[in-house]
Structure 1
């Protein structure tokens, strides 16, 4: 009997405490937030070529399926399950009808040792951990001598540079993030570099420095109109703020556009299951907990970073903290399909595969792992190699 190589395995490596500091030159200054080790210094994940091919094919297929599901939702005109206010729903629908182009997104996949792939969700509006996936782990691959593998699935940088000219944006693009979030500012700085490499001018603007000027719309502090602005700040957060009433009046091209809220809301999982029941890449999903046989996980439709998750029916039900100060949204129930555990010296670790889409094409992989079966903002980033 021949032994088949597992699609994914965790490999222990000699601990490298120097690399995170070397990577600071790339903007990766948040490798140890509050003393917590975010970058895994003693491990990598090893994948087979077949596993990468399966995730790449899954990204393409699911991207097309979600586009069809979004068209179906807009044709139906019912956004209650998505958690949108009436104003946000109107913005989303208008953006969809305009067909405003998208820059990027990140699928979260479950990858089993047998190579099978399941979709957990699509982070299509403000996906995190891009700098780590695109730039930092590539530097790690090139710098680390004791690693296995001969390649890495990582064409993200080239894909982003090639994507900017296809967005039909003005020459100057502003880039915005929260002032106090080092990780978000670093991701925005990286995206600014890709835009400049594509020939654009790029300027940073903290999100709370954006204001409104009658006759000009949204402007910078010196009164420069925001013709185009990439924002690492969710549409639903903007909608509930004082300036939310002005969003329909502005002329700014926002990246990601409002229509991506349809792709990013967990409610699209329900529409996918309704349209493609039994599809091998999908897990059953519903607004009705009773419609999901066996254990299920409840996710806020507009949830981010693992906030507000609730697992039921496993014998050891678990939950994560809900986000404070944000609007409530409907709970979407998805069949519980726990991440496979991988042994470490400190216990099992549970990796989720973050497949990055640039435009409509899969471009690379970033892996985050945690000590629990629900992935949260505090989990580790682990680089990968391909055998």
Structure 2
């Protein structure tokens, strides 16, 4: 993988905004791109497929052998835990998720986390970087079947057709853009859609209704399951076909990294991870529930005492438990530290998007940079 400077398109802002990417700010960058070989892309695809398989096996293991994981580590209400089991046993289908990988010095992808429930940076990965490639490198390829995968997945998940509601925090421009893009893929698949604020959903007698009084039968929510389980356990039990399915709550936390480490200690993709502070070493300390790199630090531990190696990022997730994931120092590319977001659509690897940062911890100040295959 190489990071190569390139001249930005003169009219790129107008072009990406015409595609609905009006919340880009300084986040979208095209004065450089990442270049991959076919072998490197094949390696990423295989790592993604294997990572998803391991995560699914970890969920099965938790449900069979770690009865206290949901109640005591994730603090999920008992009745919601039962709904999670039912959802998993019914094989409720997933639409999407995004693994965050770091490439080790030998090129091996290392799992940093799995954004299994509410991943964003979707529009830019699926549509915006493809437009850039078509304009700048029309004869090159890009690892990007995300859009086509989404359109097909709607048909697979809801073969009966019908209406789909899309709910989230509409005061957040990125969330709104993500919801609108996903709704457009559902419309392309033949569905009628409605986008609304999560707070506009009204729970009555075990069912949700929209502001027009229409029952919500199918709903994609860009709203974390752990928030919903805490705020409205009854809402988690409502008669709605949710996306993501509620079993994704078991994947969308950092504690599962410890289960993964226990089950697959020899996997080249898995970094050792612990629920309690190790005796010594360099570790990335992460809250069990956090997003956008908030409240993450790197700690040097000696005789169980922590010393700050890289200061904790800002955020509001520092009130709960943490995990300690072995720190693998990232390789800089042109003074930037990239994280490869590898998308799983309908249970299959579908493409990548790259965010980079000037510091070693990727946070919400990271920048999106396109890629090609040469």
Task: Please state which band the TM-score falls in when normalised by the shorter chain.
Answer: over 0.9
Which residue matches 2:213? Answer: 223
Which residue matches 1:202? Answer: 193
Per-residue CA distance 1:97-118 (angstroms, 9 max, x = gap): 2221100100001124542111
Which residue matches 1:333? Answer: 324
Alignment of 1:1-387 (within 5 A): 8-32=1-25, 37-76=26-65, 77-79=67-69, 80-112=72-104, 114-144=106-136, 147=137, 150-168=140-158, 170-214=161-205, 217-241=207-231, 244-290=232-278, 293-313=280-300, 316-323=309-316, 328-343=319-334, 348-387=335-374
SS at match of 2:68: coil
SS at match of 2:156: helix
CA distance in 2, matches of 1:382, 1:374: 17
Per-residue CA distance 1:329-358 (angstroms, 9 max, x = gap): 421110001221112xxxx21100000001
Paired residues of 2:101 and 2:339 also in contact (CA < 8 A): yes
CA distance in 2, matches of 1:195, 1:148: 27
Q: CA deviation at 1:248?
A: 4.4
In structure 2, runs of 5+ residues without a counterpart are: 301-306
Q: How many residues align?
A: 364
Q: CA deviation at 1:283?
A: 0.4
Q: CA deviation at 1:315?
A: 6.8
In structure 1, runs of 5+ residues without a counterpart are: 1-7
Paired residues of 2:77 and 2:233 also in contact (CA < 8 A): no
Q: TM-score, normalising length from structure 2? A: 0.92
Q: CA deviation at 1:322?
A: 2.7
Which residue matches 2:304? Answer: none
Paired residues of 2:161 and 2:190 also in contact (CA < 8 A): no
Q: TM-score, normalising length from structure 1? A: 0.89
Per-residue CA distance 1:151-198 (angstroms, 9 max, x = gap): 100011111111111113651100112121111111111111111111
Q: CA deviation at 1:24?
A: 0.8
CA distance in 2, matches of 1:90, 1:379: 38
SS at match of 2:86: helix
Pair 17,303 (structure 1): closer, same or farther in 2 beyond 3 Å: farther
